[in-house]
Amino acid sequence: MHWNQINFNNFIFTIYNCERSEFNKYIMANKPDNKRKKYRAPRGTSDYLPKRAAQLHYLDSQAAEIFERYGYRRIITPTFEDTDLFSRSIGESSDIVRKEMYTFNDKAGRSLTLRPEATAPVVRAYIEHKLHSEIKPVKLYYIGSMFRYERPQAGRYREFWQLGVEALGSPKPLIDAEVIVLLVDYLKSLALNDLVLHIGSMGDDKCRLPYTKKLRQELEPKAEAMCPDCQQRLKLNPLRVFDCKNKVCRAIIAEAPKITDNLCDECANHLVQVEKGIIGAGIKYQLDPTLVRGFDYYTRTTFEVRSPLLGAQSALGGGGRYDNLIAEYGGPATPAIGFALGMERVLLALEAEQVKLDIEISPDLFVAVVDNTDRPEAFRILTDLRRYGLAAEMDYMARSLRSQMKLADKLGSEFVIILGPDELKSGRVAIKNMATGAERKVSLDQIADSIKNLKSEPKGE
């Protein structure tokens, strides 16, 4: 024990020393450059400056409102998980697991991965906390950033934001319809109109295997003409050939048998019932026999919403049913369905449709001062107004009164008060409407009430 400890300490000591000298060497070597070095956000990531952050927040709060209206409750899971949680659910053969995961060892040697998607973490939490003993279906939603090591391009980032829902516990087609209708209703609530909903089915254990066999038999003789990726797919997971964008492959695949023509009776009936639900909700869709989702865990219903305006990265979001995943993780057999939506894609679609989000943040009131010496008193009043619930602002740069008025205008403040010696002495101040120039005199302790009243008045002319 003692020996171990010494050794252990020696080890630490050595590492520490080495790190320190390496660090010093680095600093010395880089000293002249240090001032010039420009730090940038890592490739494929971006800063959400206030304007864009406000847009993202708008998508987030709108989602929370609508998802909760549909009975979904928020769940927050860790940003990283054990690596095999993902390799197991997403599938070893998928591009995500093979090439795109941010995997690292922590200091204790555990293999961890920044989440590339959130369904597996939600399912893990569902099992870990025995949520199956709660009222079913258990309806959850999440909002968070995900990580994939992909080639960055418009609408594709290495850290990107997703929101999504999972409904766990019901095998019935109407819950599929609910999840799909929720996705479409949410996008429509953002004033997006140019949307195409694709619906498909992946079949189940009973019918997918025979179909996969049939597909492989059909395509193998033509494999040489197909791209290397597809040749690989034919070996590992033939269904994935439907993801191929290669022209030659697409022509060959177009002739191949479709899963929707090869479903067992139960799966075919399930699909019909889902369609009925969607039609009942007044939503148009396209039945898409080639809609095969990228993850191994999907069964039966698959769906995707695309914006034709976005070109190659047209999918805004999608999902499907995953009836086997929870049992595969050692949980009780639990049918489930969910979707995930790419928030950056949604922002791109809003831009493409020229939808302006009404999220400008501007103060209700700007407190201007005549004399510098009145600033502490102005600050006191400002703080009172804020505590009362008004968005209020003042100048902290010792600007002249004229510049303060310009600033109030620039900030888009609706009202302004000017505090001068007269106002402070009489205890009365004029509230000026910046748009109309109209003024109203009130006592200092009634500013907040007056502004609340003025704001609720119908806007003239």
Binding site for Zn ion (CB under 5 A): 203-204, 206-207, 227, 230, 244, 246, 249, 264, 267
In angstroms, what is the minimal distance from the CB of 325 to Zn ion?
17
Q: Whose Cβ is closer to Zn ion: residue 201's or residue 334's?
A: 201
In angstroms, what is the minimal distance from the CB of 266 to Zn ion?
6
In angstroms, what is the minimal distance from the CB of 107 to Zn ion?
42
In angstroms, what is the minimal distance from the CB of 216 to Zn ion?
14
Q: Whose Cβ is closer to Zn ion: residue 184's or residue 263's?
A: 263
Single-letter amino acid code for the residue at 288: D
In angstroms, what is the minimal distance from the CB of 76 to Zn ion?
35
Q: Whose Cβ is closer to Zn ion: residue 164's or residue 238's?
A: 238
Q: Whose Cβ is closer to Zn ion: residue 76's or residue 251's?
A: 251
Alpha-carbon distance 192 to 317, whole Å? 13
Q: Whose Cβ is closer to Zn ion: residue 274's or residue 367's?
A: 274
In angstroms, what is the minimal distance from the CB of 87 to Zn ion?
24
Q: Whose Cβ is closer to Zn ion: residue 173's or residue 363's?
A: 173
Q: Whose Cβ is closer to Zn ion: residue 257's or residue 420's?
A: 257
